[in-house]
Structure 1
Amino acid sequence: MKIKMDTLTHSSITTYRSLERPKYPFCPGCGHTLTNDHLNAALVQLQLDPRKTVVVTDIGCVGMSDQYFDVQAFHGLHGRAITYATGIKLANPDLTVVVLMGDGGVGIGGAHLLNAARRNIGITVLVFNNLNFGMTGGQHSVTTPHGGRTATTRGGNLERPLDICKTVAAAGASYVYRGTAFDKDLPARIAEAVQTPGFSLLDIWELCTAYYVPNNNFSKGALLQTMQGLGLASGILQRLDTPELARAYREEYAEQRGKPVLPPSFIEKKYASALTATTRVVLAGAAGGKVKSTASALALGGMYAGLWATQRDEYPVTVMTGSSISEVILSRDEIWFMGVAKPDLLAILSPECLSQMTSQLRAMDETQTLYVVPELAQQIQTRAHKIVFNFDRAPIKKSLALTATAAMVRHANLFPLAAFREAISAGQPAEIAHENLKAVDASEFVI
């Protein structure tokens, strides 16, 4: 963006159009030219600081518009312009954010449009609605009228067009307007929308001279007749005075701004570990078997013993069904990579996880150790040193992962068991901590 500084110090800015790109790239007669000129006139009327004004676009013919204005700009994926604009406004509510998108973008990003209106985020959306996808060859869009002929509806569109204005009005938009690119008062309506604190949308009907006009013998008069024939009212259709999200958010959490959401938590070294080499541990069991929480306790116990620790979990979206796998790395040095392709210690606690362990079992050799429950001992073939748990004297089935991991901590001498005992009790209610400690005590007998 290059703006002569004198335009910012004089009493008025005469244009927000780029002096380096004086001519739009649109087809002759394209409505985008008119609408962009109306936007420029509205910006001149408002005399906004170009450094605090952001034009957001996505894909489609209208997506080329941002580079023709000397303001801040953001260009992204088709249908996602509203999401970018929402983030920009939330990050800095003092910015004026204007979204330029086509009817194609409305269809692709419909969920974003609905939620922006529902949230009442303070952005202004100009829909350059030319009733078809112009950039890709004139395919039908969500606003193509019933009977409209396009590249994908040669015999006439059978779908009902989306009423964009009614949709966002129902969702709670603060300002809703429908008109055409030919409206003389459009700059004033755009200016009104920009000045509205909440979510504003202008559905601006245009002519696509490349496709929709020749395919439908369309014209300005036909455009107006189509709007009327569909029973779509024009003009300002809704004005509401409701709180704008970005400012409401800042006001609600003003005292917490710049502060951490949670207070910092410090982990004090209380024990010493004899561990000399980085050790990669994998706990593999069934969902609901406390694998993830046990791995967290293992990592915390390592930190109590002065070690660096990482944890990576893998589990299905279902609850209490399928496998649960956790990878924990313990090291005296800072850890920069969390993946575990070749475990030093692998505990397999249930058949649900076997299919996921194939490559890791294949990678292990005689220098690594596999810990396994008795029912899977014969089924698993590996070069790793195999140790079979014996739970006959430790009948704590619902805490199998805790007991097995505690036994592994003892056997591999990862760190003092007292560190693990403290870790599994940290932040737990007394009755749960008591049950956890019973499971750890039972580990004395399983190897």
Structure 2
Amino acid sequence: MIASKPALPSGPSEAVAYRNERAYPFCPGCGHGPVLDALDRALVRLGRDPSAVVLVSDIGCSGLSDQYFETSAFHGLHGRSITYATGIKLAQPELEVIVIMGDGGTGIGGAHLLAAARRNIGITVLVLNNFNFGMTGGQQSATTPPGGMTASGSWGNLERPLDLCATVAVNGANLAYRGSSFDADLDARIAEAIDWPGFALLDIWDLCTAYFVPRNHLGRGSLDAMRDALGFEAGLLHQGQRPEYGAAYRSAVADRRGQPLREAVAVETAFTSRLAGRFRIVLAGAAGARVRSAASLLGQAAMRCGIWVSQRDDFPITVKTGHSVSELVLCDRPVEIAGVERPDALLLLGPEGLAASGAYLRAMRPEDRVYSLPGLGSIPTRARCWGLDPASAPESAGRRHPALAALAALVRELDLVPLEALEAAARMADPRYADANLRAIQVGASLPVVEQLAEADELG
């Protein structure tokens, strides 16, 4: 559990150890234990208060690490530890956030690693890199060297291993270090990374004695030879001065702190409505046909009459193709539940809308109303049906803006809000479209509406 802000002490700690008394569970000869011991000594060097230190762990054997320290901790999963650490650091920047992950989790969370480096978020990442997924049987990882024998590649690895230090350095990290669990000064290197502002990564090579060592005859001396063969350097490889992301973000928004993201716009109540209770309207047509914008104008018109409004839209991810459906709930009291299952009125604006309206049509009753444009045939519903045709109007506005023109006709027929309120909403919307919208409303205001027969028998 992460300590809350009021509980964090401000002074340095006199702790002589951050490790608890529990013994590590790692295999004999595993390099993880020496790395964690070095982390313990690094924290003692820095004198951080244990409650102000958060260890964020990942999957694999390294994911066991946090429970052996008297600090705050967060146990993560499958490469996501860096994202959790980022959130913790942004929420409570006074905390010292340290990620402990293996090469397996680093590969899985590669996109998160890049994002953290690009942001230069002030966390420290210790990669306990033993070149395989040690917890699950020794499978190949993103850092397995060429020719490396693993459970998932007994013929030897053919891939180029990921250079973790070069990757984070080129993407904006402030510090990158490569060493091993055998380094005598590893604690000092870890302390330096923790103390350096911005994102820091330490690629710490160690031995997986259960799988990678016996399969590849690897030992302490051959780690250096393997590094040289790869052309990877060791030591402090990069140290930069980029601003830490959290501090830069807080500075950028300092003058906006506590303010709304968008200024509230008062809606003047200048009209009256006959609405008593609740009325549910659904507009269903083609994506890109201005269905949602037409529904929004009706919602704004209703608000100008003192009516409470909710609007819920549905459309495919392709945005400009497929269906577009807007559900409006108009009520003389606050709307507690948005969305519509059974409309009082359904406006069908095209075949895409009809295809998406099956559930509405099945739920509608004889007292409900369906309005539809030409070309949709008989509508399978128990509701009463009316047809209207904006394209038949002498003005082109009906053909160019059929959704709004048809909606204006529906507003006239239902008499829930005055057309003047709809026109006022159109004037207050984007001025680039105000004139065209007003013309479409005027066309719809005089559009004839003709009752049609429905195919209620098809509903069974």
TM-score when normalising by structure 2 = 0.90
Matched, 1:189 2:219: no
Contact 1:278 1:332 in 2 (8 A): yes
Matches within 5 A, 1:243-254: 243-254=243-254
Contact 2:140 2:150 in 1 (8 A): yes
**2-structure distance, mates of 1:25, 1:424:** 69
| Aligned equivalent of 2:117 | 117
CA distance 1:323–1:9, shift in 2 (3 Å)? closer
Give 1:282's aligned amino acid. Answer: V
| Aligned equivalent of 2:388 | 389
| Aligned equivalent of 2:67 | 67
Shift of 1:45: 0.6
Shift of 1:202: 0.2
Contact 2:13 2:47 in 1 (8 A): no
**More displaced, 387-396 or 172-181?**
387-396
Tell me which of 14, 17, 30 is aligned to 1:15: 17
Unmatched segments (≥5 aa) in structure 2: 450-460
CA distance 1:367–1:137, shift in 2 (3 Å)? farther
Matched, 1:145 2:151: no
**2-structure distance, mates of 1:290, 1:8:** 57
Matches within 5 A, 1:139-288: 139-288=139-288
**What SS is found at the alignment partner of 1:38?**
helix
**1-structure distance, mates of 2:370, 2:60:** 57
Matched, 1:291 2:291: yes
**What SS is found at the alignment partner of 1:178?**
strand
**1-structure distance, mates of 2:77, 2:266:** 42
Give 1:441's aligned amino acid. Answer: Q
Matches within 5 A, 1:68-87: 68-87=68-87
Contact 1:114 1:171 in 2 (8 A): yes
Give 2:52's aligned amino acid. Answer: K
**2-structure distance, mates of 1:10, 1:109:** 33
Deviation readout 1:31-62 (Å, 9 max, x if unpaired): 22111111111111101122222211222221
**2-structure distance, mates of 1:92, 1:85:** 10
| Aligned equivalent of 2:356 | 356
CA distance 1:239–1:394, shift in 2 (3 Å)? same
Give 1:252's aligned amino acid. Answer: A
**What SS is found at the alignment partner of 1:376?**
coil
Shift of 1:394: 5.7
Matches within 5 A, 1:310-329: 310-329=310-329
Contact 1:164 1:203 in 2 (8 A): yes
Deviation readout 1:51-77 (Å, 9 max, x if unpaired): 222211222221222222222222223
Kindly report the root-mean-square deviation, in angstroms, between the aligned alpha carbons of the 2 structures: 2.2
Unmatched segments (≥5 aa) in structure 1: none
Matched, 1:338 2:341: no
Shift of 1:367: 2.3
Give 2:107's aligned amino acid. Answer: G
**More displaced, 56-65 or 105-114?**
56-65
Contact 1:394 1:443 in 2 (8 A): no
**More displaced, 381-390 or 65-74?**
65-74
CA distance 1:280–1:28, shift in 2 (3 Å)? farther
Matched, 1:435 2:458: no
| Aligned equivalent of 1:407 | 409
| Aligned equivalent of 2:458 | none
**1-structure distance, mates of 2:41, 2:15:** 11
Q: Provide the aligned length of Structure 1 versus Structure 2.
A: 441
**2-structure distance, mates of 1:271, 1:146:** 76
| Aligned equivalent of 1:423 | 425
CA distance 1:238–1:8, shift in 2 (3 Å)? closer
**More displaced, 415-424 or 152-161?**
415-424
Deviation readout 1:2-47 (Å, 9 max, x if unpaired): 99x9x9989611111235xx22232332222111111111111101
**2-structure distance, mates of 1:305, 1:74:** 52
TM-score when normalising by structure 1 = 0.93
Contact 1:57 1:65 in 2 (8 A): yes
Contact 2:12 2:48 in 1 (8 A): no
Contact 2:12 2:47 in 1 (8 A): no
- Percent identical residues: 51
**1-structure distance, mates of 2:72, 2:265:** 40
**2-structure distance, mates of 1:313, 1:77:** 35
Shift of 1:288: 1.9
**2-structure distance, mates of 1:2, 1:354:** 52
Deviation readout 1:367-399 (Å, 9 max, x if unpaired): 221110011133x32211111013323642221
Contact 1:106 1:113 in 2 (8 A): yes
**1-structure distance, mates of 2:308, 2:190:** 57
Contact 1:294 1:424 in 2 (8 A): no
CA distance 1:90–1:394, shift in 2 (3 Å)? farther
Shift of 1:188: 0.5
Give 1:398's aligned amino acid. Answer: R
**2-structure distance, mates of 1:2, 1:366:** 58
Deviation readout 1:77-131 (Å, 9 max, x if unpaired): 3111111222222223222211111111111111111121112111111111111
CA distance 1:344–1:64, shift in 2 (3 Å)? farther
CA distance 1:206–1:266, shift in 2 (3 Å)? same
Contact 2:368 2:383 in 1 (8 A): yes
**2-structure distance, mates of 1:11, 1:376:** 76
Shift of 1:280: 2.0
**What SS is found at the alignment partner of 1:317?**
coil
Give 1:290's aligned amino acid. Answer: R
Give 1:420's aligned amino acid. Answer: L
Shift of 1:284: 1.1
**1-structure distance, mates of 2:273, 2:416:** 7
Contact 1:390 1:445 in 2 (8 A): no
